[in-house]
Amino acid sequence: MTTDTRASLTITRPDDWHVHVRDGQALHAVVGHTAAQFGRALIMPNLRTPVTTVAQAQAYGARIRAAVPAGLAFEPLMALYLTDNLDPSEIHRARKTQDAGTGARVVALKLYPAGATTNSDAGVTDLRKTYKALEAMQREGLLLLVHGEVTSPEVDLFDREAVFIDRQLIPLRRDFPGLRIVFEHITTREAAQYVNEAGPLTAATITAHHLLYNRNAIFSGGIRPHYYCLPVLKREAHRLALVQAATSANPRFFLGTDSAPHPAHLKEHASGCAGCYTAFAALEMYAEAFDAVGALNRLEAFASFHGADFYGLPRNQGSACLQRQAWVAPESFAFGEARLKPLRAGETLGWKLQ
């Protein structure tokens, strides 16, 4: 039902509030894509050795800056990986990084329930073990970013996000009413509804792939590993609820790609890795999703305003211009010794970032 036929769309330079750029050669392969699209990005800390200290986060931030191609103005914002025994004094050190001139800014901590996803083995086994850290975060004004899935093997994979809300998020929200929480990469109607009805300190990121696809994409014409991510794609009714939330102008929904590169041979594998690589054309994919429901005029706030406002950071200067223009996505990118196959490899996209 596209009724908006504009040929181009110019928005304030956006931010990506959830991205994986890895480290080493992989970092060099992907960070230019993110830096070309976004003014800032919140970098996930789930490296093979998780980023659990401010010193590690700042060193990682410096490696990211060094890997950004010359001429791109880009700021990596850092998150620490929350563990059962994180020293609450790290929280105070993290807050101090937000003072000017102290290197990469650490603005949040990421909660991975142990075993929920890629490199989450060091994650949290019991939320109560983190309560001292959460108290310090609430006091210091650091955000909690939540991978919202229970890990209990008896819970159906497709229900793990909805069950997480009842078992973990509602009690957490009650126990820390002053903590700013981002429910990351939401995938269900239940999550969108929870955030809609929550107060001003609860927000959510939404990926482009969860706006564009439902779970049929993983199985159409054979198993399609490049559509496999966590939380897994859900039914069409859930996709529609996410599109509704993203395009609703509610400031507590904002852009987070969860672009998550893996070597192609580890995705096309008997036990394939979770993650969709979208950073190379993230804005184009979001534009497609918003355009499909006639909501291009809502893209700027979702991509460029709501996240910055929720994090209490200034909105970016500068702009990004998207043209309505057909182009074919690359089949793959170099990725160290391996190849990286993006979402939409070899397919035509209808928008192009200038």
When the beta carbons of 136 and 169 are compared against ligand DOR, the nearer one is 169
Q: Could you tell which of ligand DOR, Zn ion, none binds residue 202, using a CB distance below 5 to 8 A set by kind?
A: none
Q: How far apart are alpha carbons 251 and 176 in whole angstroms?
A: 21
When the beta carbons of 136 and 276 are compared against Zn ion, the nearer one is 276
Catalytic option among 15, 16, 258, 291: 258
Q: Could you tell which of ligand DOR, Zn ion, none binds residue 118, using a CB distance below 5 to 8 A set by kind?
A: ligand DOR
Q: How far is the CB of 274 from ligand DOR (least distance, A)?
A: 4
Q: Could you tell which of Zn ion, ligand DOR, none binds residue 256, using a CB distance below 5 to 8 A set by kind?
A: none
Q: How far is the CB of 230 from Zn ion (least distance, A)?
A: 8
When the beta carbons of 97 and 119 are compared against ligand DOR, the nearer one is 119
Q: How far is the CB of 240 from ligand DOR (least distance, A)?
A: 21
Instruction: List residues binding ligand DOR (CB under 6 A).
Output: 20, 46, 117-118, 147, 229-230, 260, 274-275
Q: How far is the CB of 145 from ligand DOR (least distance, A)?
A: 11
Instruction: List residues binding Zn ion (CB under 5 A).
Output: 258
When the beta carbons of 274 and 313 are compared against Zn ion, the nearer one is 274
Q: Note if 166 is an active site residue.
A: no
Tell me which residues are annotated as active site.
258
